[in-house]
């Protein structure tokens, strides 16, 4: 996604953290903690910056993480069917001993999903590895007539806010034909 705003990362390094929500943890607190823990888990040289993000789906105070299986994905989709939910994406930028954090909230309305449409969706498999059991840029787009907020945040990285964070530490889009 960074390529869409002209940013070419030097490397992709996964953060090995436990992504389990704490008992009673509010969705906003959870997603902020995940982004911060990811940023802190990556080893950095003194001249490097690390950008980490985490996205979660919340229905009320309930956090809908990545479904473990088809049954849980179906449960998540039924819960969101015909109602609004919140997609929370936190972005953390660690550079020069400091961490900057942004939280982006997007409201999403899912139309009512009948049993046949749900089964077809589950058969496609787009729910695998996705917070809330769906990807707005995939087959689930057919269920989403309305959003209020950042489409790119629902995909997983709020590009406008990310560009602002990166610019704050001197990271700007690379001119066409050159790497960052």
Active site residues: 54
Distance between CA atoms of residues 3 and 97, nearest Å: 26
56 class by beta-carbon count within 10 Å (0-12 exposed, 13-18 middle, 19+ buried): buried
Distance between CA atoms of residues 56 and 139, nearest Å: 18
How wide is the angle at C-alpha 56 spanned by C-alphas 24 and 26, nearest 5°? 20
Identify the three-state secondary structure at position 96. coil
């Amino acid at each position: 996604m960074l390529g869409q705003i002209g940013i070419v990362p030097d490397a992709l390094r996964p953060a090995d953290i436990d992504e389990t929500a704490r008992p009673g943890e509010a969705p906003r607190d959870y997603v902020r903690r995940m982004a911060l823990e990811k940023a802190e888990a990556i080893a950095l040289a003194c001249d490097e910056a690390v950008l980490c993000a985490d996205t979660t789906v919340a229905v009320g105070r309930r956090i809908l993480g990545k479904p473990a299986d088809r049954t849980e994905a179906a449960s998540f989709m039924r819960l969101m069917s015909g109602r609004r939910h919140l997609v929370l994406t936190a972005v953390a930028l660690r550079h020069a001993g400091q961490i900057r954090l942004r939280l982006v909230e997007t409201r999403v309305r899912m139309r009512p999903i009948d049993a046949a449409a749900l089964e077809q969706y589950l058969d496609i498999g787009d729910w695998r590895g996705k917070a809330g059991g769906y990807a707005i840029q995939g087959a689930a787009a057919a269920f989403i007539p309305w959003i209020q907020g950042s489409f790119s945040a629902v995909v997983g990285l709020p590009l406008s806010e990310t560009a602002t964070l990166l610019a704050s530490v001197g990271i700007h889009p690379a001119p066409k034909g050159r790497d960052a």
